[in-house]
Amino acid sequence: MPGSFNARCGISDCLTIRSPSKINVFLEVLGKRSDGFHDLETVMLRTQPADVLQFRAVESDQLSLTLAAGTSPAIATGFPLDGSNLILRAANALRDACGVRFGAHITAAKKVPPESGLAGGSGNAAATLLALNRLWRLNLTQVELHRLAETLGSDINFLLSGCRAAICRGRGESVEQIPLRGRFYFVSVRPRTGNSTAAVFRRLPPPTDRRCPEKIVQNLCGGFSSAFAMSLFNRLTEPAMSVNSELAGLVQRVRKTLGLELHVSGSGSTCVAAAANYRQAVVFASRLWAVTGLTPNILWS
């Protein structure tokens, strides 16, 4: 979990931190704001598997990023090592905020596929803020780290909070922890075509009855049940399907042939469904693979 440093290198200038992913099990759009963004009410779950990031302080002011040996080529292709990577953007934001030019070498052992809609990049940014704040002995408070996180992306605050589950509001940056009982399993599958978040929001239908997260929160507090699996909801699923015909075909095919309801996570195009346990997640994954030809992931919280 972010915030707990699971392993130390044994010397004071090096530390290792886990960087989890997230999914949205509920997302309602509350309305459009004057800055062009939409206010959301969303329930997020921190999920495994996680990436593992290692940070080593260096003498110079250089920031460098490499992938751990043995990273699969599929993951390496979608993971930029230049300044556009959220790890380096978070490190630079931290240096600018504190007026320092400390350096670090960062090694990423990636398990969360990039651009998979599971916020692997946001998790990396959250882990970077926590790790470098400690490694460089900057002593920023949690509140100050959260302010920086807000400037980098909407999901980072949740992953920085260390909560396993939370209702997030605003653009996602306001985080209210909710209790979670037991383990929750999911399968996720991502069409080859991604979604433009802006395009998905542009296709939002006119507001109708507003869904509230109470039911799903209750179901999360009570442990897994079929009621939980059926209460997954994302207002962006329909607009995401209308901008991405591959996604629409996939959701409809899976609904028809497997009777399984998929919901996008965030604005897609990754879709998720809940499973009762690991065994059922494996069964769903193999059926999804048979029906779609795509490789699903199994996630748990």
**Least distance in Å: CB of 142 to ligand C5P?**
23
- Among positions 147-166, residues that touch ligand C5P (CB under 6 A) are 154
| DSSP states along 68-98 | PTT--HHHHHT---STTSHHHHHHHHHHHHH
Site for ligand C5P contains 22 (CB under 6 A): no
The region of 15-23, 86-94, 197-205, 216-224 touching ligand C5P under the rule CB under 6 A is 197-205
Measure Cα distances from 278 to 87, 97, 137, 283, 284 in Å.
31, 43, 40, 9, 10
Report how far residue 113's alpha carbon sits from residue 110's, in angstroms, rounded to the nearest whole number. Answer: 7
Which of the residues 51, 111, 155, 256 is marked catalytic? 155
User: Which single residue is written with the structure tokens 């922890």?
Assistant: 177
Q: Let me know: does 29 contact 204? Beta carbons within 8 Å.
A: yes
Choosing from 38, 147, 211, 253, the residue that interacts with ligand C5P (CB under 6 A) is 38
Residue placing its CB nearer to ligand C5P in the complex, 266 or 296: 266
Choosing from 7, 9, 100, 198, the residue that interacts with ligand C5P (CB under 6 A) is 198
Residue placing its CB nearer to ligand C5P in the complex, 121 or 296: 121
Measure Cα distances from 191 to 221, 250, 262 in Å.
31, 8, 12
Look up 22 and say whether it is catalytic.
Answer: yes
Residues touching ligand C5P: how many (CB under 6 A)?
Answer: 9
Quote the distance between the C-alpha of residue 84 and its chain's center.
18
Report how far residue 180's alpha carbon sits from residue 242's, in angstroms, rounded to the nearest whole number. Answer: 33
**Least distance in Å: CB of 103 to ligand C5P?**
29
Site for ligand C5P contains 37 (CB under 6 A): yes
Look up 35 and say whether it is catalytic.
Answer: no
Choosing from 40, 86, 88, 91, the residue that interacts with ligand C5P (CB under 6 A) is 40
Residue placing its CB nearer to ligand C5P in the complex, 41 or 140: 41
Amino acid, res. 243:
V
Amino acid, res. 281:
A
Choosing from 201, 224, 233, 284, the residue that interacts with ligand C5P (CB under 6 A) is 201
Site for ligand C5P contains 46 (CB under 6 A): no
Choosing from 92, 197, 242, 277, the residue that interacts with ligand C5P (CB under 6 A) is 197
Report how far residue 160's alpha carbon sits from residue 264's, in angstroms, rounded to the nearest whole number. Answer: 23
3-state secondary structure 242-274: HHCHHHHHHHHHHHHHHCCCCEECCCCCCEEEE
Site for ligand C5P contains 125 (CB under 6 A): no
Which residues participate in catalysis according to the annotation?
A: 22, 155
What residue ranges bind ligand C5P (CB under 6 A)? 36-38, 40, 154, 171, 197-198, 201
